[in-house]
Structure 1
């Protein structure tokens, strides 16, 4: 991947349909998420469609699914297939893997295979959807393996559109995505690069605190239009966290076009914009 020619790197995009016509979530959750985000565009692009979307914009994207069969009962998309498909578009796509933490030793072995055999460059977790407390020591062997592999782990934090508006939120518990749970993980695995996904509302201050205190913790700005960013996040991105925040859209629920248009109107310093849009991601993903 020639990063010098790219205008931006989107570190947060979802593959929600595979080449076999299978979906990452059941229809009720897909519909609820689309309603929450007011997403009118195609919600289920394939890997190839994502590559075409970003290539047309001279941008790169991190692509992943979330594997949560233990919590949801829904069959997961294959991270192996996603990574192999992304390899056919290596000029614009960077594959992350997903494993279900509840799989125990099998998750550890699979994580190692995903990196060694399929070229995965990181891992995505969604504690609320996967129904696990990320600081539970039962999951520490998985973090130890990812730390040894030298790739980042990206964790959903804060509110989620998945299950939003449904009775009981479809059983999805927000507390699992409190970034303070990841402060424990960051402290216990100082060699593990952790990315806190999204403005972590209602725990935005906690996320800023963790990212400020822990050298191995970063924040991606996906899932929200920049015009709705909490003011303390904008201040931090402009100052003490200018090298710790990353552009992410949450495509397909929020397109890079919409995110970038609103980001252009945000009060961000001129010298900070390229850090957020590309330079920080190059460093965190080891692309330089």
Structure 2
């Protein structure tokens, strides 16, 4: 219930933002993407090169969101905020809570991030937009991860993302793609700690493809490679999502997610829902 109240509160905030003047609105509708569950702008699972919100080089943008991922034996709730400073620097913060069912067990994590646009523009440059990002993650209590063999309760992911939107190239529809390379030692995105004995950080790939069915709806897929430091058979993640952008102040994303095996428990697939407000 507490998690659902968070999600409903986020929806109320988003609706409130939609009724107020927007500080930043210079970009095309839907081009910032939505909020990735670790706090960065992008898809649900993968950070993209574009920065959060609709700020151009002379504007500042703010975004707030809440997300729920519900699979067979786990529920993950995330709420956070993002700032876009002049379409050059994105700052983000997220708080996560993982509920393990049917156990009365909760794992909580905080994530602070930044993303710097290095070159290009998603739409207007002939080459893709390229951004460098960092996510610093901290578990509140690492007793369970330590028991499973994790080495640390904190870790830092570094990633390079490349994104491009091609206008009208797919039977008249706009096509967006993204490729992200991430250096990480996180176990289950950090919720099961970081590293393990004889494990070292790995460079892994993540990708997204989306088709804009019109200016308000996007349909896409994502894939994210994962390490298996703990020897629990950690699987790669994937999703199939649809995102709705009624205006530049609100987005709603729903998805089917397949997270594979988590903590040696197989068959973890289910749904994803995220509500986001932009200012």
TM-score of Structure 1 vs Structure 2, range by shorter chain: 0.3 to 0.5
Greater percentage in helix = 1
Give the TM-score, by structure 2 length.
Answer: 0.34
TM-score normalised by length of structure 1: 0.33
